[in-house]
Copies of this chain bind each other. A is one copy, B any other.
């Protein structure tokens, strides 16, 4: 993700670790009294199995357009000032940041609701897949029957 891409789109994919401070700063606004954010971190366990690390793969073209759609829907449904989402792709270690959502709004109801909407819809619709490596030597693509609870 380059700075230019970040400034022209609300949803981005990043194949390297990214800084949160500039993403948050881009949402600062004198009209906004509330800011809600969500981060997904790589956990050391999943469904009872010890996880060593994971890889995210995306269908980038469709992920970017579907992600933008999710953000546009959030801006339309909730009284927010602005919102952004960045999702990592590639190899991630335990504890690494996998996804970040930030929303600014006049009031906290809208900030929380939009933030929740964006992470829920991103997990449910945006073509990104998680490949987990387990401590027992196995590795698997996650293709949940229903959107993941994490």
Contact = CB atoms under 8 A, between A and B. Distances in A.
Contact of A32 (B31, B38, B43): B43
B94 A30 contact: yes
Copies of this chain assembled into the complex: 2
A119 B95 CA distance: 26
Q: What is the predominant secondary structure among interface residues of chain A facing chain B? A: mixed
Most chain B CB atoms below 10 A, which of A20, A34, A39, A104: A39
Interface of A: 20-21, 24, 28-45, 94-95, 104, 106-109, 111-112, 115-116, 119, 149-150
A121 to B, nearest CB: 13
B108 A30 contact: no
A23 to B, nearest CB: 12
A95 B30 contact: yes
